[in-house]
Structure formats: C-alpha cells, structure tokens
C-alpha cells in the first residue's frame, strides 16, 4: 500500500517492511512477491526476529525524527503480515511507544488479504489507529479469478467476512485493487462494487510481469534486458488499463468527487496543480521508498527485491547509512537520467515522468529503450480526463471545492443533449 508522502516532505525515506517475508496463506496467480523465497533458500521460518524488529523500529524512528518528521509512518506488508498473530503486533506497538520521541506521532499502515482478520485483530487495529489496505479485485467471480488458496479455492468469501468485521469495528480501510487482464475489462462493475462495499479510498494497481521460457518471473528490465521473456497472460494490456481509468474517471467525475478518493486521480490533480508528488511512480526521481525483508536486508525498492539491489542489512549498518549509499542515490537518479528522449519531450512529462522504472519494458518509436509499458494507458487518460482535471485545478486555485465539477459536468452534458435534440 502506497502512503502519500506529499504532506510530510521532511521525511527523507520510507520503508515497506516484510516481517513475514514472502510467506502467505494465499497463492495469488499474479503475485510477484511469493517467488522471493528463492532468494533465501536456507530459510525455514520467515519471521522477523525480535532483535531485528527492535533495531528497525528504534533506528527508523531516530532517522525520521532527525529528518524533522513529526508524524512517522510504519508500513507493514508481506506476504501476509497477519500470519504473525496479534501478539507480534502488540510487541510492535510497544516498541514504537518505547522509542517514540515526545511530540511525535507514530502511525501504522498494514496491507492484508483480510482472510485471517477476526474480532481480535479488528479491535487491535481500531485501538491503535491502524490504516488497513485490503487486497480485493472486484466481485466474487472477478476476485477469485486470480486470488485463491493453494488448493485452488477462491478467497472472496473470507475477504468479505474480514472486511465486514473491520467495518463493524470502525477501522479505517482502503481498497487495494490489482488491475489485471480480466477485471480491466469491467471497470464500472469493479468500481460500483467497491463503492457498494463501502470503500471510500481506492488504489488501482496495474500488474505487468514478464515470464521466461521456464515459467519463472523475469527480473527488472535493467537487469534482464537480454533474456527471452513474454508478458504474462494475467498482465493488464495497456489499452485496457487506459480504458479502465477513463471509464472509472467518467463515473467518478459525475457522481463521487469529494466522496470517493481514488489515489491515481488525486495524485494527478496534485501534479496538474504543480504540487510535489507524493507517489514515487510519478516522481521525477525515486529511491526514497525502500523495502526490508524479514532478516533486516534492505532493498532499493519493493519492486526491486533482487540480490543485485540489496543495499545491506540493518543489523550491520544503520538504516540511514544504507539509504545514503551511492548506489541507492544512483538508483533514484536513473529514473530521470535514463528517461528516453521521447518522454523528455512529451507534453505530459510533468504528470508521468516515465512511470515506474520496473515497467519500462518497451522502446520508443526511434528504437530507444526505456519506454514505459503503460505509456499508452497514461496518454489515453491524460487526453481523456485532462480537460476536466484542468477545470478542477482552476476551481482549486479560486478557492472553490473540487466537487463543484460534478454540477459543471451535468450542465455541459445537458447542453450537448439539447444541441443533439435529445430529451
């Protein structure tokens, strides 16, 4: 789950922490993280030891506090972090409170498939004000297409049970929706379902992975550019993702502005206003959102958990020293310095900045490598939604509510209907 960092610019970096490593009770077809087990062949128990946990919490708080952060976010992911049990997270909160400086607020975000959520978990999350991101891909038939248990049975019913328990306890929840080959073709069905369930904050996460001839997932294009690999059959097609965004935007801009908050749209409105981007995908440079494995290994990024992107281990070096390594600085700068000329000259560069480097799988019309797989998706959205985004940014600059766009859209639609002679 991505945390918008735009309101905490003083924080120098954030870490997506994997206390359970890649272990999960589900076997989702498209999950890119389950295969990380192969990087730890001797590991029998993926479980962050208490000494690693305490070192991390202590040093991370110290680094953020030194950077001037008054609100410090911890992001717990997996794998499935709830497999560790509630008592493990009680220890986490205890350590956070132990090392929290006066006047500083500690916040926690946790990403879960919600299948293990029960009354005890929900009460704990509510008590300690956790922000919970729930992975859900749409209605039952759509969700169960790729999100299932190891025996092949779908997870939807247990996910919905977990969501209802969280809602009953008043826990703040976000929907984390992987946009894949199937649900990308049913945008309104997916979006309306999420609203009906009660989600008011939604992240749409497009999936693209390359598969080698032996069936394993290929690494990032910067490392595996020469291998023979094809885009997986579950990867969303660029044209479908563009159409998905456009269809959801059309529904949202007419009915839900100010009521439903879709991260992609909110980030774009901010970018079109000229505000600092709070999401690395669309930032000019990256390298400030890292990932940490169960044993304290720190990696350049959640999408770059590969041996060649391992910066070191927090039990051997301070976390801020690892983040400051020259190789990590280069990693972040290369998002900008390797941007193809076609992207540099694009009028929408401000809104995209080449997207995530992990997705730069294509070549430009001139044959230059480094074009983002989702370039066509983004361009489709910018052309389609851009005029309305400009209206919303204008409203904002005049001190008016962005939600006023809904009435403007209705008025313009009515005028078009009258000109067309429609009732």
Which residues are identified as catalytic?
Answer: 302
15 membership: H or E segment, kind and range? strand 14-17
Determine contact, residues 41/78, Cβ cutoff 8 Å: no
Is the peptide bond preceding residue 79 cis, with omega within 30 degrees of 0? yes
Q: What does the block give as tokens for 157?
A: 């019913």
Q: What is the C-alpha radius of gyration for the chain, rounded to an integer number of angstroms? A: 22
The interaxial angle of helices 119-127 and 86-99, nearest 10 deg, is 10
Report which of 121, 218, 122 is spatially closest to residue 170, judged by C-alpha positions: 122
In the β-sheet with 289-292, what is the strand arrangement from edge to edge? 261-262, 201-206, 172-179, 131-135, 105-112, 71-76, 14-17, 289-292, 297-299, 310-313
Q: What does the block give as tokens for 12?
A: 């120098």
What are 140-145's contacts with CB under 8 Å, separation 24+? 142/182, 142/183, 142/186, 142/189, 142/190, 145/180, 145/182, 145/183
The interaxial angle of helices 263-272 and 375-397, nearest 10 deg, is 60
- What single-letter DSSP state applies at residue 236? P
Determine contact, residues 106/74, Cβ cutoff 8 Å: yes
Determine contact, residues 118/168, Cβ cutoff 8 Å: no
The whole-angstrom separation of Cα 70 and Cα 2 is 19
């Amino acid at each position: 789950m991505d945390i918008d960092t735009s309101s905490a610019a003083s924080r120098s970096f954030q870490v997506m922490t994997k206390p359970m490593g890649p272990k999960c009770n589900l076997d989702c077809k498209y999950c890119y993280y389950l295969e990380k087990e192969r990087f730890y062949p001797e590991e029998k128990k993926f479980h962050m030891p208490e000494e690693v946990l305490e070192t991390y919490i202590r040093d991370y708080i110290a680094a953020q506090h030194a950077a001037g952060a008054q609100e410090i976010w911890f992001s717990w992911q997996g794998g499935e972090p709830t497999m560790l049990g509630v008592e493990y997270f009680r220890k986490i909160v205890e350590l956070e409170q132990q090392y929290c400086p006066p006047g500083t607020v500690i916040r926690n975000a946790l990403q879960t498939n919600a299948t293990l959520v029960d009354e005890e978990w929900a009460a704990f999350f509510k008590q300690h004000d956790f922000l919970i991101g729930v992975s859900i891909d749409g209605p039952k038939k759509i969700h169960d297409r790729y999100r299932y248990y190891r025996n092949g049975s779908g997870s939807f019913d247990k996910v919905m049970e977990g969501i209802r328990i969280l809602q009953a306890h008043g826990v703040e929840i976000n929907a984390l929706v992987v946009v894949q080959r199937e649900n990308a073709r049913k945008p309104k069905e997916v979006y309306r379902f999420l609203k009906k369930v009660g989600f008011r904050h939604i992240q749409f996460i497009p999936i693209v992975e390359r598969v080698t001839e032996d069936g394993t997932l290929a690494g990032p294009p910067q490392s595996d550019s020469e291998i023979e690999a094809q885009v997986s059959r579950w990867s969303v097609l660029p044209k479908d993702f563009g159409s998905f965004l456009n269809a959801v935007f059309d529904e949202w801009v007419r009915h839900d502005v100010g009521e439903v908050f879709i991260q992609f749209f909110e980030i774009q409105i901010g970018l079109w206003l000229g505000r600092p981007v709070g999401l690395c995908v669309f930032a000019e440079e990256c390298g400030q959102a890292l990932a940490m494995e169960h044993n304290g290994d720190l990696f350049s990024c959640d999408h770059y958990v590969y041996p060649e992107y391992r910066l070191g281990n927090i039990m051997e070096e301070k976390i801020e020293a690892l983040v400051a390594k020259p190789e990590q600085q280069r990693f972040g700068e290369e998002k900008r310095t390797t941007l193809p000329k076609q992207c540099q000259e694009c009028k929408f560069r401000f809104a995209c900045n080449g997207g995530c480097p992990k997705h730069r799988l294509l070549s430009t019309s001139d044959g230059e490598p480094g074009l983002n797989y989702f370039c066509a998706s983004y361009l489709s959205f910018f052309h389609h939604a851009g005029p309305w985004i400009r209206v919303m940014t204008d409203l904002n600059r005049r001190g008016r509510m962005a939600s006023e766009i809904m009435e403007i859209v209705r008025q313009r639609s009515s005028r078009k209907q009258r000109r067309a002679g429609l009732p």
